[in-house]
């Protein structure tokens, strides 16, 4: 997975460290120097900042003190709870943080090998389809000898501050992290796919069946090492970080650190009772200000759970920012949930394996309609089909398809101010089974994402067997940008871009004739089929033939009245010749 890791801005960690050790000098990063421009967009807002190395702040610095945990992180003087919440989730997954913090044992301070310290560290993030290795020096911004930004409970633990610095370097400066999307950070830490969920729209607080289904989905993501975050939407500026009577904070990102079915009762009797409570544990990146309702740290409800069960859950009575809620209360108060799935593409796994297709593309504006690739959303009917188009196949009777569209990061532009994301989205159209060339007329739209100015948009959709075209777009026409399209299916989908508008002309077309007329054939149904087997069942399918080219529909099992809904498209050299449609069936032997 990391064999193709790219060095950020060409800085090779091992080379730079070796140079420092040979010269006897501590590393000073020329690309992210210890100056105010690395902190702010428009100038200093917090007073005189001193950049200090960990050894200047304590006697015994370490990357980790007693390992790594969600309690290591505390948000500093920066509105980046979204990033700290993602780091909190990351800290609970050893397999993940060891990828973000590579060579962590080698990078750790070693008092017995003081001559191996070079003041240089490196971290890895998934950025626009690639893992990048980011090098930093360990000079950290301080005021009054205290870290300004992210810091740990232990004054001599520095992994969180150093990861934050590397992330700030990628974004251009620390202030670029002021306000952001937890879903983006979760993807950057994992290379996974984030699915944002609107809990109000789903009415999970009122619908018990839907709520239980959601809990099972959240539990599955958690158990398969996915990362989860949640928040309570703030509708006004005054609402941002406003504390509710129950202790929760609006407009603030929380990390989900555990999801459990908790057994109620005491002793052996508890094991014979089927009653289990759906519970979820969260942490406030501030390291304080917790939920004060049912199942909070010191609430009476915990008396319903045995001591051993409480110990297993790690219930503590202290204001450390971490707390449990039952899932019903969670759905009542929280409005937004982010599930970051680690999409498993390994055939060696015992869990579901997905087939992944990754496409890189661009929205490019040109005056020529045939070459323009920035047509805007479907509201702009005259230009919509000028956008990039990608065809893929669903080869099962029905398949769950995951689609993620990501635009290239626009925030990392400190010299010009914060870059604004484009409003992006995509539509999915069902097309002819033999579609090879770009669509120039409207087809059957079967699904579409929302349009939003976030870095990624995501859709999970059950699609029937057939061929489909994805059209990724900006909301408005004429906007330029790069994008990454990721398509996940159960079986290979053979996803590829449609680049040609029509069959190419060759030296043979002058002699054999160039296909001028396009004919679309749509077969919907065939009733009263004859020739069924003895039990009256048949497995019909349809074949459409035109000038030697055939389109065959999927087989419809155990029916005599199929709804084929199959389409074919033909570029014809002899438009006067007929098109042959044949309905056949596979006989089924019943024992």
Catalytic sites, residue numbers: 81, 252, 284
CA angle (426, 431, 436) in 5-degree steps? 100
Question: Tokens for 481?
Answer: 């940008």
Q: Determine the Cα–Cα distance for residues 436 and 571; give it in Å rounded to an integer.
A: 11
CA dihedral 237, 239, 242, 247 (to 10 degrees): -150
Instruction: Give the bridge partners for 132, in sequence order.
Output: 6, 125
Instruction: Give the bridge partners for 540, in sequence order.
Output: 585
The DSSP 8-state label assigned to residue 102 in this structure reads T
207-227 burial string, b = 16+ CB within 10 Å, else e?
A: eeeebeebbeebbebbeebbb
| Edge-first strand listing for the sheet containing 539-546 | 549-552, 539-546, 580-586
Nearest to 189 by CA among 105, 256, 101: 101
* Contact yes or no for 384/442 (Cβ under 8 A): no
Strand bridging mode 193-198 / 336-341: antiparallel
Work out the angle between the directed axes of helices 81-91 and 159-171 (0-180°, nearest 10).
Answer: 130
Provide Rg for the chain, Cα atoms.
29
Q: Determine the Cα–Cα distance for residues 483 and 473; give it in Å rounded to an integer.
A: 10
φ, ψ for residue 379, nearest 5 deg: -65, -25
End-to-end CA distance of the chain: 49
The DSSP 8-state label assigned to residue 27 in this structure reads -
């Amino acid at each position: 997975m990391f064999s193709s890791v790219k060095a950020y801005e060409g800085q090779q960690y091992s080379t730079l460290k070796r140079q420092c050790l040979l010269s006897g000098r501590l590393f000073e990063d020329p690309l992210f120097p210890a100056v105010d421009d690395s902190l702010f967009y428009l100038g200093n807002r917090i007073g005189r900042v001193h950049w200090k190395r960990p050894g200047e702040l304590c006697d015994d610095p370490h990357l980790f003190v007693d390992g790594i945990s969600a309690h290591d992180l505390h948000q500093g003087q920066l509105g980046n709870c979204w990033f700290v919440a993602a780091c909190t989730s990351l800290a609970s997954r050893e397999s993940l943080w060891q990828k973000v913090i590579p060579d962590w044992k080698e990078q750790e301070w070693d008092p017995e090998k003081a001559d191996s310290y070079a003041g240089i560290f490196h971290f890895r993030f998934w950025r626009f389809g690639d893992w990048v290795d980011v090098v930093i020096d360990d000079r950290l911004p301080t005021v009054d000898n205290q870290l300004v930004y992210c810091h740990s409970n232990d004054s001599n633990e520095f992994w969180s501050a150093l990861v934050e610095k590397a992330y700030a370097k990628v974004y251009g400066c620390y202030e670029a992290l002021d306000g952001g999307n937890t879903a983006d950070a979760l993807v950057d830490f994992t290379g996974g796919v984030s699915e944002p969920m609107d809990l109000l729209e789903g009415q999970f607080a009122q619908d018990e069946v839907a709520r239980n289904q959601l809990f099972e989905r959240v539990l599955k993501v958690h158990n398969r090492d996915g990362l989860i975050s949640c928040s309570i939407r703030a509708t006004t500026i005054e609402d941002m970080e406003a504390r509710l009577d129950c202790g929760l904070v609006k407009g603030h990102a929380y990390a989900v650190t555990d999801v459990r079915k908790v057994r109620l009762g005491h002793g052996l009797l508890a094991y014979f009772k089927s009653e289990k409570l759906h519970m979820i544990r969260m942490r406030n990146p501030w390291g304080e200000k917790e939920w004060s309702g049912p199942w909070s740290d010191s609430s009476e409800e915990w008396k319903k759970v045995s001591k051993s069960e409480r110990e297993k859950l790690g219930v503590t009575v202290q204001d450390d920012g971490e707390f449990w809620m039952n899932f019903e209360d969670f759905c009542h108060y929280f409005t937004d949930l982010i599930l970051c799935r680690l999409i498993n593409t390994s055939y060696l796994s015992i869990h579901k394996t997905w087939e992944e297709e990754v496409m890189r593309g661009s929205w490019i504006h040109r005056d020529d309609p045939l070459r323009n690739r920035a047509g805007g959303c479907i509201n702009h009917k005259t230009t919509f089909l000028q956008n990039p188009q990608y065809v893929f196949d669903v080869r099962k009777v029905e398949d769950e398809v995951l689609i993620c569209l990501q635009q290239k990061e626009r925030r990392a532009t400190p010299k010009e101010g914060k870059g604004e994301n484009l409003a992006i989205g995509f539509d999915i159209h069902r097309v002819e089974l033999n579609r090879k060339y770009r669509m120039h007329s409207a087809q059957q739209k079967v699904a579409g994402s929302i349009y939003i100015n976030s870095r990624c948009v995501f859709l999970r959709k059950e699609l029937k067997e057939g061929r489909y075209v994805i059209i990724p777009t900006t909301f408005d026409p004429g906007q330029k940008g790069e994008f990454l399209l990721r398509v996940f299916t159960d079986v290979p989908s053979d996803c590829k871009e449609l680049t040609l508008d029509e069959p190419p002309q060759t030296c043979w077309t002058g002699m054999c004739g160039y296909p001028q007329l396009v004919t679309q054939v749509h077969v919907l149904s065939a009733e009263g089929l004859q020739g069924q087997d003895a039990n009256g069942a048949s497995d019909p399918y349809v074949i459409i033939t035109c000038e030697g080219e055939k389109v065959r529909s999927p087989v419809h099992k155990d029916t005599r009245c199929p709804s084929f809904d199959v389409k074919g498209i033909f570029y014809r050299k002899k438009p006067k010749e007929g098109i042959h449609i044949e309905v056949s069936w596979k006989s089924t032997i019943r024992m």
